[in-house]
Amino acid sequence: MRSTNGLVLAAALSLALTGCGGGTDAGGGGAAPLTLPGVDEYLNAPCPEVGTKPATDKEFTYWSMWTADEPQGKVLGKAIKCFTEKTGVKVNVQWLGRKLLTQNVAPALNTDTVPDLFDQDISQVKAAIVAPGGTQPVDDVLDYKIGEGDKTVRDVLPKSSYDIPQNKDANGKIFEIPYELLGNAWWYDKAKIKDFKAPATMADLFALFDKAKSDGMAAVSQDGDINFYNAYFFTQIAVRYLGAGGLEKAALDKSGAAWTSDPGLLKSAELVEKLAKGGYFIDGWDAAKFPQIQQRWADGDAAYLFVGSWGPSETREYLSKQGGDKGIEYASFQFPQPEGATHKVVEQLPIGFAVTAKAKHPEAAKAFIAYMLNKDILSGIPAVADNLTPRADLPVPDSLKDVKAALEAPGVEHAIFMDALDGLAAGKWVDNVFYPLNNDLLKGKITAKQFIDGLAAKQAEFWKSTNS
């Protein structure tokens, strides 16, 4: 579960710089701009109409995962201002930051002072709040109007962003309506990698890496101190063999036998082993202190970097703080389809609003959710916060175009980051079973076979002793 938190935090914080007017020394005039145009334009634009207005509620409380002066905070601030202006409903907002679920919302659920509305990525909300029964369904919001004529929420959101198992509570009801979407990808600098051709097979991918090595660069930068960054390689490949939700199912197998029964898992592990033992990772990645290693990618020490859609803004900010004059022409590609894998999968992570079960003003809160999806409000997410939204009809920042394209490619299966493994058993499954073995695999300390056998054995042991 840790992972998603980090992703969101990463994305948001990294963007803070661009939103807040960039680095103090905006000398970094590279290929990519260091500040986003259109921030002021967005913030000063007139408020759109509210589609579905609350009938009775005159106020509601919103606890936010953002802080007031980061870009997303500014976008939400504008939404709140406009909502109050158009409906007269007062919004009591608390800007609490990313850890709000376990540090604020969950504890508050023990009392009667609860927020009506809060936000976070679906994995975390599900683990921390939905599991103990803290939310109410928001299916009805799908039919709320968003203030663009008769358009409803259902009309503008792709099903893949909300109608997924990971966004359902115990009764199969949806608990969250997304307004931001994270993706992940292999990043590279177009200016540095000449004659780049997107890899179609895993062999192509390794060829790219080998070429980088022969060019005198390290192939892959990887901040090895972050467990879930290390997990991406295996989960990305494996999920293409098993399909979305396949890994989660394997992990839930009490006997652990699921790991050995599907040959795709071993094949995935073998590919990771090849990556690990091929000497592709940059020296020192296994003694990393985030974000040192991704900075080395930005510095050009390595050719490729696999992280989420926050990668460009974080590294852009780093470069601007270094006072350098060379920016990066961001481009990205997805993992190629491994041999024999049948599922074309792309990973995503929706961030959205949820309503508490004990909410006193759910009606107003739900009206606000729908209003947030209004084009003129939601466009702040790409324009101000340099991030993706689930809506397909909004402009996309240049650096994220490849990711957006991958997410919306026809016929793809959408999986949650890490196939939501990080939320299993309150987060204990990854900590105790997966991360230790996966780290060893990635460091080349164990073979693919040992990894799979280890998972099977450890998992059996784990489920035997775990109560929840």
Partner 1 sequence: MTVTAPRVPKPTVPPRVAPRRPRPAPGSRGLSPLRLLGMAFVWLFTAFNILVLYWLLTATFKTPIEIFTKPFALPYQWFERGDPFRNIIYAWSNAGFGRAFLVTVVLVAVSSVAIVLVSAPAAYALTRLGVRGSNGLTNFIAIGMGIPFQTVVIPLFIGMAKLNLTNSLFGMFLVYVALSIPFTVFLLTGFFRSLPDELEEAASIDGASPLRTFFSIMLPLARGGLITALILNAIGLWNETLLALVFLNENANFTLARALFSFYGAASYQSEYGGLIAGVAIVVLPMLVLYVLLARRIITGLTLGAGK
Partner 2 sequence: MTAALGAHKAGRRRLFLPFFLPAVSLYVLFLLVPTVATVVLGFTSWAGAGDTPRFTGLANFGELLASDSFRFSFLNTLLYIVVGGVGTFLLAFLFTMVLRDMRGGKTVRAILFFPNIVAPVALGMFFGIVLIFRPNRQGLVNFVLESFGIDAVKFLAPENVTWVVTGCLIWASAGFYITILMAAVDRIPPYLYEDADIAGASPWQKFRNITLPLTWDVIGVAGVLWTIGAIKIFELVFVLAGPGTYSPPIQSWTLGVYVFDRSFGTAGSPEYGMACAAAVVMIALVSVLVVMLRRMMRRDSVQF
**Which residues make up the interface to partner 1 (CB under 8 A)?**
9-10, 13-14, 16-17, 20, 24-25, 67, 94-97, 100, 103-104, 107-108, 110-111, 113, 290-291, 295, 310, 314, 317-318, 321-323
- Rounded CA separation 456/353 (Å): 36
Which of 84, 94, 292, 450 is in the footprint of partner 2 by CB under 8 A? Answer: 292
Which one of partner 1, partner 2, none interacts with residue 287, CB within 5 to 8 A by kind?
partner 2
Biggest alpha carbon–alpha carbon distance for the chain? 68
Which of 134, 147, 352, 362 is in the footprint of partner 2 by CB under 8 A? Answer: 134
Using the rule CB under 8 A, is 308 a contact of partner 2? no
Q: How far is the CB of 351 from partner 1 (least distance, A)?
A: 16
Q: How far is the CB of 295 from partner 1 (least distance, A)?
A: 6
Number of residues counted as binding partner 2 (CB under 8 A)? 58
Using the rule CB under 8 A, is 279 a contact of partner 2? no
Q: How far is the CB of 254 from partner 1 (least distance, A)?
A: 30
Using the rule CB under 8 A, is 467 a contact of partner 2? yes
Closest to partner 1 by CB, 104 vs 466, is 104
Closest to partner 1 by CB, 69 vs 85, is 69
Could you tell me which stretch among 16-24, 66-74, 84-92, 278-286 binds partner 2 (CB under 8 A)?
A: 278-286
Which one of partner 1, partner 2, none interacts with residue 435, CB within 5 to 8 A by kind?
partner 2
Closest to partner 2 by CB, 145 vs 361, is 361
Which one of partner 2, partner 1, none interacts with residue 131, CB within 5 to 8 A by kind?
partner 2
Binding residues among 105-124 for partner 2 as defined by CB under 8 A: 105-107, 109-110, 124
Closest to partner 2 by CB, 226 vs 266, is 226
Closest to partner 2 by CB, 335 vs 429, is 429
- Rounded CA separation 305/42 (Å): 32
**What's the burial of 285, exposed, middle or buried (CB within 10 Å: 0-12/13-18/19+)?**
buried
Which of 288, 345, 354, 378 is in the footprint of partner 2 by CB under 8 A? Answer: 288
Which one of partner 1, partner 2, none interacts with residue 88, CB within 5 to 8 A by kind?
none
Closest to partner 1 by CB, 323 vs 395, is 323
Using the rule CB under 8 A, is 319 a contact of partner 2? no
- Rounded CA separation 16/250 (Å): 38
Q: How far is the CB of 354 from partner 2 (least distance, A)?
A: 13
Using the rule CB under 8 A, is 254 a contact of partner 2? no
3-state SS of the chain is CHHHHHHHHHHHHHHHHHHCCCCCCCCCCCCCCCCCCCHHHHHHCCCCCCCCCCCCCCEEEEEECCCCCCHHHHHHHHHHHHHHHHHCCEEEEEECCCCHHHHHHHHHCCCCCCCCEEEEEHHHHHHHHHCCCCEECCHHHHHCECCCCCCEHHHHCCHHHCCCHHHECCCCCECCEEEEEEEEEEEEECCCCCCCCCCCCHHHHHHHHHHHHHCCCEEEECCCCCHHHHHHHHHHHHHHHHCCCHHHHHHHCCCCCHHHHCHHHHHHHHHHHHHHHCCCECCCHHHCCCCHHHHHHHCCCEEEEEEECCHHHHHHHHHHHHCCCCCCCEEEECCCCCCCCCCCEEEEEEEEEEEECCCCCHHHHHHHHHHHCCHHHHCHHHHCCCCECCCCCCCCCHHHHHHHHHHHCCCCEEEEHHHHHHHHHHHHHHHHHHHHHHHHHHCCCCCHHHHHHHHHHHHHHHHHHCCC
Distance (Å) of CA 384 to CA 15, 19, 66, 68, 333: 9, 6, 14, 13, 24
Binding residues among 393-432 for partner 2 as defined by CB under 8 A: 422-423, 425-428, 431-432
Using the rule CB under 8 A, is 91 a contact of partner 2? no
Binding residues among 18-37 for partner 2 as defined by CB under 8 A: none
Could you tell me which stretch among 32-40, 47-55, 132-140, 144-152 binds partner 2 (CB under 8 A)?
A: 132-140
Using the rule CB under 8 A, is 4 a contact of partner 2? yes
Q: Residue 190: CB partners within 8 Å, gap ≥ 6? A: 31, 196, 329, 330, 331
Could you tell me which stretch among 219-227, 250-258, 331-339, 391-399 binds partner 2 (CB under 8 A)?
A: 219-227
Closest to partner 2 by CB, 28 vs 423, is 423
- Rounded CA separation 301/221 (Å): 8
Sites of contact with partner 2 (CB under 8 A)? 1-6, 9, 99, 101-103, 105-107, 109-110, 124, 127-129, 131-134, 223, 225-227, 283-284, 286-290, 292, 296, 357-358, 422-423, 425-428, 431-432, 435-436, 439, 458, 461-462, 464-468
